[in-house]
């Protein structure tokens, strides 16, 4: 992956909560509780403020996956956006830069 200028690749991870739960053979709620504890003790840092255009609605932006790091400095700057753009194949925006409407996805019962 090529990074422009002086941007260095971030040491980050971005598995979905479902992937984490499957890998640990546990529930998503257990993963959420565990992440909350790790974050409260500053053993992991989580970035949640990035958005991608919804596949189904032009001009509507939804949150990307959470991004995890062991060092909070790894979550700053453009390298996180570049990594997520590689995964999504679309431009990723910081919350303050979203050029449209932000909507949060809601899960339907039974999903």
pLDDT in tens, 26-81: 999 999 999 999 999 999 999 999 999 999 899 999 999 999 999 999 898 888 89
pLDDT at 107: 63
| CA separation, residue 8 to residues 2, 35, 72, 82 (Å) | 9, 26, 15, 10
C-alpha distances in Å from residue 45, one per residue of 80, 88, 100, 111: 13, 22, 27, 27
Pairing of strands 67-69, 60-63: unpaired
Identify the DSSP state of 13: B
């Amino acid at each position: 992956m090529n990074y422009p200028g002086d941007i260095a690749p971030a040491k980050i991870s971005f598995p979905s909560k479902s992937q984490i739960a499957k890998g640990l053979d546990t529930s998503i709620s257990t993963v959420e509780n565990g992440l909350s504890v790790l974050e409260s003790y500053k053993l992991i840092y989580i970035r949640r403020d990035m958005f991608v255009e919804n596949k189904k609605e032009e001009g509507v932006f939804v949150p990307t996956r959470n991004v995890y790091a062991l060092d909070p400095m790894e979550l700053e700057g453009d390298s996180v956006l570049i990594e997520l753009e590689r995964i999504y194949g679309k431009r990723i925006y910081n919350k303050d830069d979203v050029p449209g409407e932000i909507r949060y996805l809601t899960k339907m019962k039974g999903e």
